[in-house]
A and B are shown apart, each in its own frame.
Chain A
Amino acid sequence: MKSILKQGTQAAVPFDPNWKTILECAALEVFEMMAGAHLELNLAPTEEPRGEQTAMVGMAGALCGMATLRCSRDTAVKFASLMLGGGAASNPSTARDALGELCNMIAGNFKSKVHNLADHCMLSVPTVITGEDYSMETASPTEGVTVALTFDGEPIWVSLICHT
């Protein structure tokens, strides 16, 4: 609790569009280290983020917002299998839990790479949405960056949405 209270005195860290590169790096490292998966950057994405599984982690403190990780159910199952070993991801809830943990680690890895965020920004526990027909809206103005990736030809999106 003491650490949380300390954050209240920390000035907000302003959004920086260059965070896209940091987010890319944070995401690629997490997939490589935790799933042994080498993802590629999709430099010219032609579509909006899609996929039936969206993991979200809230951020509060010097940076308020959310990190999201979106992909298809099949891709989420693949990641869970890579993280836990073959067959471990046959349970759908395991695949969702794995996607939530990946999103959590991407958010944590990102903030550890941004000056003044590591000690002054807290992460929520992950939430995972199943389904594609939804939209996300926030009460306050936001800015953000989205990183498009591919794994085995399948698209994956990592986004950072910051309240400004």
Chain B
Amino acid sequence: MKKLRVLIVDDSSVMRKIVERALRQAGLDLAEVLEASNGAEGLAEAQKGALDMILSDINMPVMDGLEFLKNLATVESAKGVPVVMITTEGSEARVVEAISAGAKGYLRKPFTPEQVKTIVAPLLGGIL
């Protein structure tokens, strides 16, 4: 199994750790976990390249997750990297907006490691 390099974008440091823990509990072999506390920091990390997956919160200060997703489309090194949006909001409209902007999956908090695996594993099918 390939060791993965993932980027977690969330303004809560606790939530970043929880997402990382859930990914490990879901069975992902993480070589490196990069963290960013908003979309602007996330873009800077994504520009460095070599990511296997990005997980991003939607509600964040400075640059929210949807804006991050739209800007990410212009980052050459992030082309083809699957993005999963994570949010507390149960809004159908925001899901549609995120998918339209290029998100490949959507995870609603609260979540279990099993739910994380169900969403994430198919997106990494080619490299797991």
Interface, chain A (partner B; CB < 8 A)? 3, 6, 29-30, 33-34, 80, 83-85, 88, 94, 97-98, 100-101, 104-105, 107-109, 111-113, 118-119, 122-123, 125
Contact = CB atoms under 8 A, between A and B. Distances in A.
Contact of B89 (A33, A34, A113, A123): A123
Contacts of A33: 110-112
Contacts of A97: 12-14
A118 B92 CA distance: 8
A34 B18 contact: yes
B104 to A, nearest CB: 21
Given A108-B89, A109-B110, A112-B89, 15 more contacts: A33-B110, A83-B14, A83-B18, A84-B14, A84-B18, A85-B21, A97-B12, A101-B14, A105-B109, A111-B90, A118-B89, A118-B92, A123-B59, A123-B88, A125-B61
Instruction: Pick the most buried of A108, A113, A118: most chain B CB atoms within 10 A of its CB.
Output: A108
A34 to B, nearest CB: 5
Nearest to A111: B90
Give the contact-size bracket for chain B: 20 to 34
A108 B108 CA distance: 9
B35 interface: no
B110 A104 contact: no
Interface in B76-128: 87-94, 97, 108-112
B74 to A, nearest CB: 20
A37 to B, nearest CB: 12
A108 B90 CA distance: 7
Nearest to B20: A84
Contacts of B111: 33-34
B94 to A, nearest CB: 6
A13 to B, nearest CB: 14
Contact of B110 (A29, A84, A113, A123): A29
B15 interface: yes
Interface string B1-43: 0000000000111110110010000000000000000000000
Contacts of B12: 97, 100-101
